[in-house]
Amino acid sequence: MQAEQQIPEEDLLPLTPLSQIREALHEEDLAEVGEIVNELKPAEIARMLESLPPIEREQVWETVDDEYNGEVLAHLSESVLEDIVDEMSHEELLQTAESMQEDDLVDFLQDVPEDVAIKLLSSLDEVQRARLTQILEYDEDSAGGMMNNDAISVRPETLVETLIRYLRRMEELPRITNKIFVVDRDERLLGEVLLTTLLTADNQLHMTDIMKYDPVSLHLNTTGQQVARTFREHDLISAAVVNDDNQLVGRITADDVMDYIQEDSERLLMQTAGMDEEVDTFAPIHKAAIGRGIWLGVNMFTALITATVINAFGSTIEQIVALAALAPVVASLGGNAGAQSLTIIIRGIALGQIEGANARALILRELLIGSISGIVWGSVAALIAYLWFGAPALAAVMFAALFINLMTAAFVGVVIPLILNRLKIDPALAGSIFLMTFTDIIGFLALLGLATAFLI
């Protein structure tokens, strides 16, 4: 009998932390689980928890060191966070909240159930409660909701030497501090001083001598998308947040912007499929079925509208069976063409490149692209129809139907997201529903209607 071939040890791939944890759980070795988990960074622990079924998730959470609890919870999605918070006592929650940095605590309070948030707020000291309440008044996806209250500010007449002495007396600088803000006696923002400039400046210079006037700042109600765009365009690490009177009320740092960008990307991805961006990968089956069922119900309604159109031309299809084979081609190409336009427009809206002033130019541009596509692919489809069925008239109808549908797809692919955006409805969530309905209906109407008019 031939000896079993051994795989060299160096060729074996190391187990991932997730695989190691699941193996340890299978062996009921929670001590091993704890060792593996607590060697990871808090964000990695959070990702690990989200990658486990609820029962295993609870077991792993019990092994996380208390000192990491706050940072781990700050990185969890809302649905998973709620499940873990439900199992924690008020004392555990309060201890965890007190260990969090203020901006993470704001996000935490926005994600936990309202009754939990109220209890936690009432347990905090008056000063911290007032600061947090102020931030919680703003939408979480606005500059006010994203800001921190730890901005360092000085008067314009302050000497470099004095400011450096003051900074050295602090136990530590707020994280990601790269600039000091200069304000007047009414806290109105006048300028900013980069730390790199401060450290190399002469000690006897005043802030007015070294500060940058008219710094980039963000209003409290600036949207998250505009905040991200401003950081990208100006290569910012941090930026001041001001109110209507240009008074400094806080600052936003690059890590907060990165968190927003990631969450916004996940939201767009999930909403494209009509799903909640905070959905738990291992959510209970009944919850997942209900959530997805709503989307399927909407799709069934729109599909029934399309089916009604097809049914109206039943006699035409019976007489020209070839139409049953060609109809899906017209609908499919129209849907894909429209999706391309829709994606381009949604991206442009997200980047702030599209507004009323250039909407007409966009519509004309997409119509031109649609007409070119209609001529090219309409000709190809007509040729295929002729080769298949040997009917020149049917080929001509196929060309006309496809041309009409691709033009329609280009038009609605631009107009639908613009209208939805004007109505304050997220185009990424509802755009594809309306688009596919339009292109299917117009495609079938064009093909079957022209066939009824000219072939029967």
Q: What is the CATH number of the domain that holds 296?
A: 1.10.357.20
Residue 418 located in a structural domain: yes
158 is in which domain, residue-wise? 153-257
Q: What is the largest CA-CA distance in the chain?
A: 95
* pLDDT tens by residue, the chain, 456 residues: 444 455 454 444 567 888 888 888 888 888 898 898 889 898 888 888 888 888 888 888 888 888 888 888 888 877 788 888 888 888 888 888 878 877 778 878 887 778 888 888 888 778 788 878 877 888 888 999 889 888 999 999 999 999 999 999 998 898 899 999 999 999 999 999 999 999 999 999 999 999 999 899 999 999 998 999 999 999 999 999 999 999 999 999 998 898 888 777 766 666 555 555 555 555 566 665 666 666 667 767 877 888 888 888 888 887 888 888 889 899 989 989 988 888 888 878 776 777 666 778 888 888 999 999 999 999 999 999 999 999 999 999 999 999 999 999 999 998 888 888 888 777 776 778 788 888 999 999 999 999 999 887
Residue 268 located in a structural domain: no
Residue 272 located in a structural domain: no
CATH number for the domain harbouring residue 119: 1.25.60.10
Do 297 and 443 lie in one domain? The reply is yes
Residue 1: its pLDDT value, please?
Answer: 42
- pTM recorded for the entire structure: 0.63
Task: Determine the Cα–Cα distance for residues 414 and 190; give it in Å rounded to an integer.
Answer: 42
Q: Are 239 and 230 in contact (CB under 8 A)?
A: yes
Do 220 and 132 lie in one domain? The reply is no
Do 346 and 410 lie in one domain? The reply is yes
Do 314 and 435 lie in one domain? The reply is yes
Residue 279 located in a structural domain: no
Residue 268: its pLDDT value, please?
Answer: 66
Final residue before a domain boundary, out of 242, 257, 272: 257
Do 448 and 307 lie in one domain? The reply is yes
Residue 2 located in a structural domain: no
Residue 447: its pLDDT value, please?
Answer: 92
Residue 144 located in a structural domain: no
Residue 128 located in a structural domain: yes
Do 75 and 204 lie in one domain? The reply is no
Residue 6: its pLDDT value, please?
Answer: 55
Do 385 and 416 lie in one domain? The reply is yes
Do 158 and 132 lie in one domain? The reply is no
CATH number for the domain harbouring residue 230: 3.10.580.10
Do 219 and 293 lie in one domain? The reply is no
Do 252 and 293 lie in one domain? The reply is no
Do 182 and 312 lie in one domain? The reply is no
Final residue before a domain boundary, out of 71, 105, 137: 137
Do 196 and 245 lie in one domain? The reply is yes
Please give the tally of structural domains in the chain. Answer: 3
Task: Determine the Cα–Cα distance for residues 82 and 115; give it in Å rounded to an integer.
Answer: 12
Residue 263 located in a structural domain: no
